[in-house]
A and B are shown apart, each in its own frame.
Chain A
Amino acid sequence: MEFDWSPQDEAHREELRRFLDETLPEDWETISRDGPGSDAQAGFSREFCARMAERGWLTQHWPAAYGGSDAPPWRHAIVGEELWAIGEPRGPQYMNVNWIGPAIMEFGTEEQKAQHLPRISRGEVIWCQGFSEPEAGSDLVALRTRARREGDAYVVDGSKIWTSYAQHADFCILLVRTDPEAGRHKGISVLLVPMRTEGITVREIPSVVGERYFHEVFFDAVRVPVSCRLGPENEGWNVVTHALQYERVGAARYARAALTLDRLAERARERGWLEDPHVAERLGHARTLVEAARVLTYRVIDQRAHGKPPSTDTQLARVAGTDADLAVGELALELFGQEGLAYGSFADANFRLAMTAGVAVGATEVQLNLIAARHLELPRE
């Protein structure tokens, strides 16, 4: 047990920071104000990811066989920390490199690998994930979008909801039900669907979070070649749970919360608020939550670095990250008071980005259920 960064990792972090200083435009804070799905940020991501790719950093944690350089998990974690903290210039593409690419490596055919992996590792493609449905949110496995086999194609009918990045996406990793008679976890398949296929319509759902946050995606007799299925038919649930287990901590929320908290404290100091012991205590307590989320996330990365199977430590890290994000967002609003209500102000921008934390990528309550069942081994009954 030891908790030092290797000199190589430290050097990489420094190099990355220099690169960001040079690469991010002056109006980056404005670009990133509305989150990774906004037009501005999704657009910028194509430019930015291409530059990351040129340096071999975008998918350095991938195996060399797929255009990576087998970088250790810690190296990729540093990239996640640095990029997510400043507002994620990879835009929606962080999903591609974190788990969509690896899922294709694990379950894809040679043809699928050849089609998708180079484009992902060059940073030129945007994906969305078609998981949630109007009647299948936290209870994802209740999904009903139907894919009927017709010759060498599936015909997809149904709809997905809350889909981030759908308006910008080139592809959708889509969960469909291929056998409605099978049990809840059986009969699900994964399709890799080009978004520019006839019969797909996308509608933005206006939200209070930011631009282009939520969408509905409608599938009306959409023909998808069978060759686009990822993994075996009716075993899509395994594909998804396997692919997502490691990546559930994916976005380094704590890193974003840590940087926001530092900036908040800096503003508080400039205004003389740090003299108020109550403010000092609030900031200190928020820092404990950010640090807790960081160390629990590191624990998950460490297990990956040791080649251990994913454990419920992932859920511990997830909930801690959510708590940190929410606490910092709320604290920013409270310290700035009504000043924070103005759109785009420091407090507003950060609060809006934080407020979905407990719901996005699976509700906190579901994580707590898993911790109770698997970590504490409490009875189900």
Chain B
Amino acid sequence: MDFELDGEQQAILDSVDVLLSLRAGPERAIALAAKGELDHDLARALREAGFLSLATEVGPLEAALLVERAARAAAVLDVGARALVAPALLREVPDVPVALVHADGRGPVRHAAFAGVLLVADGAVARLVRVEPGSLAPVRSGYGDPLGFVPEALRRSGEALGAGSGERLLRWWRLALALELSGASTAALATTVAYLKQRRQFGRAIGSFQAVQHRLARCAIRTEASRWLALEAAHHGAPGERVAVAAAHAADTAAQVFRETHQLSGAIGFTREHDLHVFSMRLQSLRLELGGSTAHARAITAERWAEGAP
């Protein structure tokens, strides 16, 4: 048991942070959002540095650390799907964007408009669907990631990835979600805390009011716990109960962080000239994925307490 990074992990994260500080960040996310684009340059840079293959070459925990950091840095990229989920299902990590799809999901899908590979969760099996990148219709949306529409015929097609693959896809997808939620919640909170230290009303910093401080402190407790729960689950290879706990906790945290950061930031928080929306709007999208907090919570109970649970 050791919560500190070891030498190799520290070295990886140092390089990841340098790369992200140069090539990601809220400003870039805002520019990409205006064009409805995915960050292809960032994807290339991460791939060339070897970070997209961390899961197979080092381990899932190291890939998880990358996913969480990328979300904190407002990366507009399928980094969770490509660096963490795909390696758990495919022998070779695709060189094209990966979108995660639920066979019964009718809503738009993150990154689908740019995807070259769809991983479809369809009951007991996962299926691999190859598509021409750019062939799926983009869906206009203000929730952080570019979305695309996946027609039902496509959601029902593709090559089955074998026994147990459906369940495996859901587990690693839940984990990636938990990490992205955690990273984005942490960044949204940090953005708001920084703002409230500066912003003065009634002759004092807003962040000095106890009524405000306690709400921020509660958010901090939740974001810290979300991160550790997700990293623990990654280390253990994404077991069903742990990923459901991490995802449910992170989704509930996201709802709370969204509410509190926007309320406490006032009107500036709703503008595109302030960074908060880059993280907070994405939180709403992420917290709904895979049925959201209620579905994750039911999965916990099924995994832990149902008749014949492991």
Q: Kindly report which residue of chain B lies nearest to residue A74, judged by CB atoms.
A: B1
Q: Kindly report which residue of chain A lies nearest to residue B193, judged by CB atoms.
A: A376
Inter-chain contacts of A262 with B (CB < 8 A):
304-305
User: Which stretch of B39-47, B72-80, B205-213, B268-276 is in the interface?
Assistant: B205-213
**Contact assessment for A375 and B207 in the assembled complex, using a CB-CB cutoff below 8 Å:** no
How many chain A residues sit at the interface, stated as a range, is: 35 or more
- Distance in Å: Cβ of B8 to nearest Cβ of chain A: 10
State the CA gap A200–B294 with chains docked (Å).
55
State the CA gap A298–B232 with chains docked (Å).
11
A379 at interface, CB cutoff 8 A: yes
Which residue of B210, B220, B244 has the most chain A CB atoms within 10 A of its CB atom? B220
- Distance in Å: Cβ of B9 to nearest Cβ of chain A: 6
Q: Kindly report which residue of chain B lies nearest to residue A279, judged by CB atoms.
A: B301
A296-B294 CB under 8 A given contacts A291-B245, A306-B4, A320-B221:
no
- Distance in Å: Cβ of B64 to nearest Cβ of chain A: 10
A342 at interface, CB cutoff 8 A: no
- Distance in Å: Cβ of A259 to nearest Cβ of chain B: 13
B298 at interface, CB cutoff 8 A: yes
**Cβ-neighbour of A1 out of B2, B210, B214, B226 (below 8 A):** B2
A288-B245 CB under 8 A given contacts A295-B229, A295-B232, A296-B228:
yes
Interface size for B (C-beta < 8 A) is: 52
**Contact assessment for A296 and B224 in the assembled complex, using a CB-CB cutoff below 8 Å:** yes
**Contact assessment for A281 and B196 in the assembled complex, using a CB-CB cutoff below 8 Å:** no
B222 at interface, CB cutoff 8 A: yes
A378-B218 CB under 8 A given contacts A283-B305, A288-B248, A288-B300:
no
Inter-chain contacts of B2 with A (CB < 8 A):
1-3, 302, 305
Interface string of A295-338 (1 = CB under 8 A from B): 11011001101100000010010011000000000000000000
**Cβ-neighbour of B3 out of A298, A319, A381 (below 8 A):** A298
A242 at interface, CB cutoff 8 A: no
State the CA gap A306–B216 with chains docked (Å).
28
A143 at interface, CB cutoff 8 A: no
User: Which stretch of A129-137, A230-238, A364-372 is in the interface?
Assistant: A364-372
Interface string of A275-297 (1 = CB under 8 A from B): 00100111111011101110110
**Contact assessment for B302 and A299 in the assembled complex, using a CB-CB cutoff below 8 Å:** no
Instruction: Please provide the chain A residues from 233 to 290 with a CB less than 8 Å away from any CB of chain B in the complex.
Output: 262, 265-266, 268-269, 274, 277, 280-285, 287-289
Q: Kindly report which residue of chain B lies nearest to residue A268, judged by CB atoms.
A: B305
State the CA gap A373–B220 with chains docked (Å).
12
Inter-chain contacts of B297 with A (CB < 8 A):
280-285, 287-288
Q: Kindly report which residue of chain A lies nearest to residue B212, judged by CB atoms.
A: A378
Q: Kindly report which residue of chain A lies nearest to residue B224, judged by CB atoms.
A: A316
A26 at interface, CB cutoff 8 A: no
State the CA gap A74–B2 with chains docked (Å).
10
Instruction: Please provide the chain B residues from 289 to 310 with a CB less than 8 Å away from any CB of chain A in the complex.
Output: 293-294, 296-302, 304-307
B249 at interface, CB cutoff 8 A: yes
Chain A contact residues: over half helix, strand or loop, or mixed?
helix
Inter-chain contacts of A375 with B (CB < 8 A):
217, 220
**Contact assessment for B1 and A274 in the assembled complex, using a CB-CB cutoff below 8 Å:** no
State the CA gap A320–B236 with chains docked (Å).
23
A343 at interface, CB cutoff 8 A: no
- Distance in Å: Cβ of B292 to nearest Cβ of chain A: 11
State the CA gap A302–B232 with chains docked (Å).
14
**Cβ-neighbour of B249 out of A5, A277, A292, A381 (below 8 A):** A292
- Distance in Å: Cβ of B265 to nearest Cβ of chain A: 14
Q: Kindly report which residue of chain A lies nearest to residue B198, judged by CB atoms.
A: A379
Which residue of A1, A74, A292, A379 has the most chain B CB atoms within 10 A of its CB atom? A1
- Distance in Å: Cβ of B121 to nearest Cβ of chain A: 20
Instruction: Please provide the chain B residues from 1 to 28 with a CB less than 8 Å away from any CB of chain A in the complex.
Output: 1-6, 9
A284-B296 CB under 8 A given contacts A319-B221, A368-B218, A378-B207:
yes
**Contact assessment for A299 and B228 in the assembled complex, using a CB-CB cutoff below 8 Å:** yes
**Contact assessment for B208 and A371 in the assembled complex, using a CB-CB cutoff below 8 Å:** no
**Cβ-neighbour of A287 out of B65, B214, B226, B300 (below 8 A):** B300
**Cβ-neighbour of B213 out of A3, A298, A369 (below 8 A):** A369
**Cβ-neighbour of A265 out of B1, B207, B214, B304 (below 8 A):** B304
Which residue of B9, B231, B249 has the most chain A CB atoms within 10 A of its CB atom? B249
Inter-chain contacts of B302 with A (CB < 8 A):
280
B160 at interface, CB cutoff 8 A: no
**Contact assessment for B252 and A285 in the assembled complex, using a CB-CB cutoff below 8 Å:** yes
**Cβ-neighbour of A285 out of B222, B226, B248 (below 8 A):** B248
State the CA gap A379–B193 with chains docked (Å).
10
**Cβ-neighbour of B9 out of A1, A268, A303, A380 (below 8 A):** A1
**Cβ-neighbour of B306 out of A274, A287, A299 (below 8 A):** A274
Inter-chain contacts of B218 with A (CB < 8 A):
319, 368
A6 at interface, CB cutoff 8 A: yes
State the CA gap A287–B293 with chains docked (Å).
13
State the CA gap A194–B98 with chains docked (Å).
70
Inter-chain contacts of B216 with A (CB < 8 A):
372, 376, 378
A372-B213 CB under 8 A given contacts A2-B2, A296-B225:
yes
State the CA gap A297–B1 with chains docked (Å).
13
- Distance in Å: Cβ of A366 to nearest Cβ of chain B: 11
Q: Supply 10 further A-B pairs (C-beta < 8 A) apart from A2-B235, A284-B298.
A: A1-B5, A269-B307, A274-B305, A280-B302, A292-B225, A368-B213, A375-B217, A378-B208, A380-B208, A381-B205
Chain A: residues with CB nearer than 8 A to chain B? 1-6, 9, 74, 262, 265-266, 268-269, 274, 277, 280-285, 287-289, 291-293, 295-296, 298-299, 302-303, 305-306, 313, 316, 319-320, 365, 368-369, 371-373, 375-381
- Provide 26 A-B residue pairs closer than 8 Å at the C-beta atoms, listed in order of the A residue: A2-B235, A3-B2, A3-B235, A277-B294, A280-B302, A281-B298, A284-B299, A285-B252, A287-B245, A287-B304, A291-B229, A298-B1, A302-B1, A305-B1, A319-B218, A320-B225, A365-B214, A368-B213, A369-B214, A371-B221, A372-B213, A376-B207, A378-B205, A379-B207, A381-B204, A381-B205
